[in-house]
Amino acid sequence: MAQEVRVRFAPSPTGYFHLGGARTALYNWLFARHNGGKFILRIEDTDRTRYHPDAVPFLLESLRWLGCMWDEGPEVGGSCGPYYQSDRIALYQQYAEQLIAEGKAYRCYCSSERLAALREQQHAQGVKPGYDRHCRHLTRQQIADYEAAGVAPVVRLAIPLEGETAFEDRLRGRIVVNNSELDDLVLLKSDGFPTYHLGVVVDDHLMGVTHILRGDEWLASAPKHQLLYDAFGWQMPEHVHLPTILDPSGKGKLSKRRQRGPGQEDQLTFIHEFRQAGYLPEAMVNFLALVGWSYDSETEFFTRDKLIRYFDLDRVSKSPSAFSYDKLQHMNAVYIRNLGDNDLTNRLLPILRAAGFKADFGRVLAFAPLIKERLRLLGDAVDMLRFALVDSLEYPTEDLVPRKLDAATAREILARTRTVLAALPSFQHAVTEAALRELADGMGLKLRDALGSTRVAITGAAVSPPLFESMEILGRECVLARLDEAIARLG
RNA sequence: GCCGCAUUCGUCUAGCGGCCUAGGACACCGCCCUCUCAAGGCGGAGAUCGGGGGUUCGAAUCCCCCAUGCGGUACCA
């Protein structure tokens, strides 16, 4: 039987969890589920200067929200822990020692000043930048001197001076680089922490990772990793470098930071922001899956189960793709439309309450079918339902007078509307609609024109959910009161 | 600079030698429906497949060169 598939998502806690990370996590998760394997979460917190304390909580929360539960990792544990690299320091040091002992790595005592000067000089001379291997062949005496001076060394991998290194990328095929292009990369920093390169190789091996799906910014360092695997005598897992996600114009990389040009709307990039804005996790997952992967020429909507069933590395794209907020919104709107009324209401309530409304379930539920097909984001409901959740409306009085009418006419319409509605035997929308149609006819007005003032009077806006249904839910008392208020304002 | 990767409508994509006068989706435009706004229906515009050479009876699909974009070139991941 084939080896169990084990994949991992290994973010660095340096900032909030963003789109690119989410896509990578999702692909790993889908791949694991598709193959009945394990999805491991590992925190690569080896950079103490860039560490951000909020990062991990936001990450875990977002992953859970997206439904990408990890089988091993923080909070759930597992047999290959610990899952924070900062808790595995001794391990990396031990492996670094081993390579030194075998002559495959060496201690480097060069100061960062010297390295900076070296780079500057190389730049000025127009030669290829890189470490000059100053410490690769130090004498016993030189080493003793450095040690005596208390210089804290780094550990560097001794890259073969000649030959080439090749590895296989699942998507791009065989990639070969000349070893002369490769630097003696740092494995262990002078503070004793591993660099990404050492940490990732040691952990992926120790954790039994079989496939590495990661962003293609790593493609260039894969040959170095191959050399590291070779140095340890380990087999390198299969690599899949996922294409970059570009900004909506398709011209630049999607910034992790807020990118906002003149006249441009805010572009969300952090997962918790999408959640706050009212995106559904199922829409998010569906859409994210399609950024760099496709099933066929037409299918775009997939349930989670279908995604798991269909996800296939062979259909992952090689080229970068722009992130289309328009399309995400469209997809979100479709998902919202397909929600049951109860479900939608439950998702709306926390948002409405957060916006300051004392929204009760029954009222929101009643409006759910009315607003469902008008929402693109759950958050749209805040403005859409304001009139239904608030005691008194706020709107400029002049809004009561539609463009083609004058104030006196508007007032007359409102007054007659009030009279008609007050006299009706029932307030069901079919009844009120019939009555107001008749009224409009009698006044020689089109319904749409006759309703203009009334809509503003009842909802405070010229655009609203269907008026008659809304009035039925609000109830006669509320409707008449609002009409009175409007009439008074025009009087 | 050097190394690597990528290149089909504005955007996401289908396409893996003939089914392509290149299909679908978002966005856009028009019409219909309509109490506003949506939703929905119908239709439209939009890609000489980055450019140039080959290979082949035949290329978006295979090969080479160029251009452009992106990534890497850290004691950051």
The per-residue pLDDT for A233 is 97
**A393-438 tens-digit pLDDT:** 999 999 999 888 889 999 999 999 999 999 999 999 999 999 999 9
E strand or H helix at A482: helix A476-490
Does residue A261 carry a pLDDT above 90? no
pLDDT bracket for residue A266 (50, 70, 90): low
Shortest-distance nucleotide from A215 CA to C1':
B71
What pTM did the predictor assign?
A: 0.94
**Residue-wise burial string across A203-233, b where 16 or more C-beta atoms lie within 10 A, e elsewhere:** bbbebebbbbbbebeebeebbbbbbbbebbe
**A193-229 tens-digit pLDDT:** 999 999 999 999 999 999 999 999 999 999 999 999 9
- When pLDDT is averaged across residues A260-284 and rounded to a whole number, the result is 80
CATH 1.10.8 placement within chain A: 339-389
Does residue A23 carry a pLDDT above 60? yes
Q: Is the CB of A390 under 7 A from strand B?
A: no
Q: Which residue has the higher pLDDT, A127 or A21?
A: A21
pLDDT bracket for residue A262 (50, 70, 90): very low
Distance in angstroms (rounded) separating the CA atoms of residues A460 and A454: 9
pLDDT bracket for residue A249 (50, 70, 90): low
The per-residue pLDDT for A259 is 45
Q: How much is the CA Rg of chain A, to the nearest whole Å?
A: 32
The per-residue pLDDT for A483 is 97
Give the three-state DSSP class for A237: coil
The per-residue pLDDT for A373 is 95
Shortest-distance nucleotide from A316 CA to C1':
B13
CATH 1.10.10.350 placement within chain A: 397-489
Q: Which amino acid is at A9?
A: F
**A73-130 tens-digit pLDDT:** 999 999 998 999 999 999 999 999 999 999 999 999 999 999 999 998 888 888 888 8
Give the three-state DSSP class for A393: coil
Does residue A171 carry a pLDDT above 80? yes
Residues 6+ apart with CB under 8 A from A463: none
Distance in angstroms (rounded) separating the CA atoms of residues A281 and A26: 12
- Domain A397-489 top-level CATH class: mainly alpha
List of A residues 440-459 with CB within 7 A of strand B: 447-448, 451, 455
Classify residue A103 as exposed, middle or buried by CB count within 10 Å of its CB (0-12, 13-18, 19+).
Answer: exposed
Does residue A263 carry a pLDDT above 60? no
Does residue A347 carry a pLDDT above 70? yes
pLDDT bracket for residue A256 (50, 70, 90): very low
- When pLDDT is averaged across residues A463-468 and rounded to a whole number, the result is 97
Q: Which nucleotides of B are covered by protein (CB under 7 A)?
A: 1-8, 10-16, 23-27, 35-40, 69-77
Residue lying closest to nucleotide B2, CA to C1': A128
Q: Catalytic site residues of A? A: 256
Give the distance, in angstroms, between residue A218 CA and nucleotide B4 C1'. 11
CATH 1.10.357 fits A339-389, yes or no: no
Q: What percent of chain A has pLDDT over 70?
A: 96
Give the distance, in angstroms, between residue A117 CA and nucleotide B2 C1'. 19
CATH 3.40.50.620 placement within chain A: 89-242
- Domain A89-242 top-level CATH class: alpha beta
Tokens of residue A424, six digits: 């009706």
Give the three-state DSSP class for A480: helix
List of A residues 168-187 with CB within 7 A of strand B: 171-172, 175, 177-178, 181, 183, 186
Instruction: Look at A119-128, A152-161, A290-299, A471-480 and tell me which has the smallest mean pLDDT.
Output: A119-128
Distance in angstroms (rounded) separating the CA atoms of residues A429 and A193: 70
**A351-401 tens-digit pLDDT:** 999 999 999 999 999 999 999 999 999 999 999 999 999 999 999 999 999
